[in-house]
């Protein structure tokens, strides 16, 4: 099977700024993504570590099918610095009727200490191009377990406003934690 490399729902497939770009998620990045997700499971909605066979099946059955859909539930990208995949993310939980989506993004865990804010800002800039310019969405949001305080200043510096705090919303290490939602609207 040849893995798809373009989304039917997008006219433009690559979004770039400086040396960073988003390209449709690549099959060859699946094990990097698996590694990062397992390393960062504490803040994801993932209940157990992923295995290679699970990741292969997910890419071949779920992700591959997104490319041909006019209105997929998610649009995922490999986040590139030059020719190196340093993260992945996209628009998930897409509501095509109301034109809004949730942002998902994970970077190479080894880069978080030195590049967290910088890479998040580049990613947000690029995903806004996808959401607001390419798809003309009305709103994009984050849904973050309140375990990542370094994330909120990055979002707010990028024009996202805190929209809501869902108190005691998710179970984490046998305790309920808040979920913080930040949103940004398309400029009219």
| Domains along the chain with CATH numbers | 15-140 (3.40.630.30)
In this prediction, residue 150 carries a pLDDT of 87
Classify residue 28 by its DSSP letter: G
Q: Higher confidence at residue 49 or residue 182?
A: 182
Structure confidence by residue, pLDDT tens digits, 139-183: 999 998 887 788 999 999 999 999 999 999 987 778 898 999 999
* Average pLDDT of the chain, as a whole number: 93
Cα–Cα dist 87/85, whole Å: 6
Residue 120 has pLDDT above 80, yes or no: yes
H/E element, 137: none
Q: For residue range 88-108, what is the model confidence (pLDDT) as tens digits? A: 999 999 999 999 999 999 999
- Please state the pTM of the whole predicted model: 0.93
Q: Assess whether pLDDT exceeds 70 at residue 188.
A: no
39 burial (CB, 10 Å; 0-12 / 13-18 / 19+) is middle
Of the chain, the end-to-end C-alpha distance in Å amounts to 42
Q: What is the pLDDT of residue 45?
A: 61
* Vertex 97 angle, CA 92 and 101, to 5°: 20
The whole-number average pLDDT for the span 41-56 is: 77
Tell me how far apart the alpha carbons of residues 111 and 86 are, in angstroms, rounded to a whole number. Answer: 8
DSSP 6: S
Is the dihedral angle over the CA atoms 123, 125, 126, 131 positive or is it negative?
positive
Percent of the chain with pLDDT over 90: 81
């Amino acid at each position: 099977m040849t893995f798809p490399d373009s989304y039917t729902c997008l006219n433009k497939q690559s979004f770039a700024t400086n040396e960073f770009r988003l390209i449709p998620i690549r099959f060859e990045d699946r094990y990097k993504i698996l590694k990062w997700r397992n390393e960062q499971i504490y803040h994801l909605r993932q209940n157990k570590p992923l295995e290679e066979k699970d990741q292969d099946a997910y890419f071949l059955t779920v992700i591959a099918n997104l490319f041909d859909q006019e209105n997929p539930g998610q649009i995922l990208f490999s986040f590139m610095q030059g020719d190196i995949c340093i993260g992945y993310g996209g628009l998930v939980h897409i509501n095509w009727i109301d034109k809004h989506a949730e942002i998902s993004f994970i970077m190479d865990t080894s880069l978080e200490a030195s590049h967290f804010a910088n890479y998040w800002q580049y990613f947000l800039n690029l995903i806004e191009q996808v959401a607001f310019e390419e798809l003309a969405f009305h709103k994009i949001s984050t849904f973050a377990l309140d375990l990542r305080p370094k994330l909120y200043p990055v979002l707010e510096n990028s024009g996202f406003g805190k929209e809501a705090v869902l108190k005691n919303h998710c179970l984490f290490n046998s305790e309920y934690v808040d979920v913080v939602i930040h949103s940004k609207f398309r400029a009219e």
